[in-house]
Structures are given as structure tokens and as C-alpha cells.
């Protein structure tokens, strides 16, 4: 089975570009049947439901090729990405990044992947530094006030409803796009 994994960082973002480019690459390679795994969650979240499903299918020996738009769709952390890629390559899974034009079926591909994952980690760190610097400047100017009192990142009532349906904390945090500790706080407020 050939799988394609796409990920966007938020529920508002659209994965169509990734799907289109992966689909075009697969068609050019004569690949007709691709099973799609799609997450709409930040790459620095430890649990991504569809990636978890893909990992299970790889472990079960169902998936022999994984097609990605870019390697940073798998992981933002170099260490996490290397661990994941090493596991998959160790299971003789072919990994292809279509925009970076690399095929990780050999040792050289794995080394290149390590470098690219490292660059992705640097990029994420730079984004966070710029964001923190921008917030600091805005605070000095009196423009940034932080989150207004009474507002929340997610929906506490939905968190409680999902809990009543029997969902686990991890599942609720994934559904709401918030951390597990935020879900615990929402549930404690009820």
C-alpha cells in the first residue's frame, strides 16, 4: 500500500496544495491508488491522530511507501523526525518528499533528511523568537495586552461535552486544538 501524509498547522488552513502536488507526483510515477492520511494540527504537537494511524499501518506492514509534500510535515523537531524516519527506513519503508525531490530509500537520503529536518527546527525556533520579540515590543508600546479576560483558546463547554461522551483527555485536546493541560483546566472549571 502507498500512503500520502499531509498536514496543515491549523483547522483553518487548506491542504489542497499538498494534495495536488503529491497527486501529480504519484500520477507521473504511474501510481494510481494512494491512501491519504491528513492532520490539521501543529507539527509540534506530540499526538497527531492520522499520523498515529499511519504509524500503526506501517508497523502492521500494510504501508510500503510514504509520500510527503515536505519532510517538515512529519515533525518540526529534528530528533523526532530522525527517530520516525529511522524507524520507517528500518522497516524498509520508502519515503519520498516531492517538493524537496528526495527519496529516502538509501543512506544518503537519510543524511539529507536529517539536514532538512534540522533546518526545519531552526526555522521554527526563529519564528518563535520573532514572535516573542514582537510581543515584547508591543508590550513596551502598550499595544499588546495578552488574551482578554474571559476569552479562551478553545471551547470549554465542548470539552465537557466530549468528556461526557467518553473521550480521553488526549482526544479532547486534539479535537479542540489545545493542550492537555488546557483541557484539564476547562474540565476543572465545570
pLDDT of residue 35: 94
Of 3.40.50.1390, 3.90.1150.10, 1.10.10.10, 3.90.226.10, which CATH number belongs to 2-106? 3.40.50.1390
Chain segment 176-186, per-residue pLDDT in tens = 778 888 888 88
How many CB atoms lie under 10 A from the CB of residue 117? 23
Q: Which residues pair with 36 in a beta bridge?
A: 4
Chain segment 11-21, per-residue pLDDT in tens = 778 889 999 99
Phi, psi at 30, each rounded to 5°:
80, 20
User: Average pLDDT in the 140-146 region?
Assistant: 82
Q: Which residues pair with 6 in a beta bridge?
A: 38
Exposed, middle or buried: residue 118 (CB in 10 Å: 0-12, 13-18, 19+)?
middle
Residue boundaries of the structural domains of the chain: 2-106, 156-188
pLDDT of residue 37: 94
pLDDT of residue 44: 59
pLDDT of residue 149: 61
**Active site members:** 9
Whole-model pTM over 0.95:
no
Chain segment 90-129, per-residue pLDDT in tens = 788 889 999 988 887 766 666 776 777 777 778 778 888 9
User: Average pLDDT in the 153-174 region?
Assistant: 83
Amino acid at each position: 500500500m502507498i500512503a500520502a501524509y499531509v498536514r496543515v498547522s491549523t483547522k483553518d488552513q487548506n491542504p489542497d496544495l499538498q494534495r495536488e502536488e503529491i497527486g501529480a507526483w504519484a500520477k507521473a510515477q504511474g501510481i494510481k491508488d494512494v491512501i491519504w492520511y491528513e492532520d490539521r494540527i501543529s507539527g509540534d504537537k506530540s499526538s497527531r491522530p492520522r499520523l498515529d494511524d499511519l504509524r500503526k499501518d506501517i508497523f502492521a506492514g500494510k504501508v510500503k511507501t510514504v509520500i510527503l509534500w515536505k519532510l517538515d510535515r512529519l515533525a518540526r523537531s529534528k530528533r523526532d523526525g530522525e527517530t520516525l524516519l529511522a524507524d520507517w527506513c528500518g522497516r524498509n519503508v520508502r519515503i519520498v518528499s516531492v517538493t524537496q525531490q528526495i527519496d529516502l530509500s538509501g543512506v544518503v537520503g537519510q543524511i539529507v533528511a536529517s539536514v532538512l529536518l534540522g533546518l526545519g527546527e531552526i526555522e521554527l525556533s526563529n519564528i518563535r523568537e520573532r514572535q516573542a520579540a514582537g510581543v515584547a515590543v508591543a508590550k513596551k508600546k502598550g499595544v499588546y495586552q495578552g488574551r482578554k479576560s474571559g476569552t479562551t483558546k478553545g471551547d470549554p463547554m465542548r470539552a465537557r461535552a466530549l468528556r461526557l461522551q467518553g473521550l480521553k483527555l488526549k482526544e479532547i485536546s486534539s479535537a479542540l486544538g489545545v493542550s492537555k493541560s488546557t483541557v484539564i483546566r476547562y474540565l476543572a472549571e465545570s
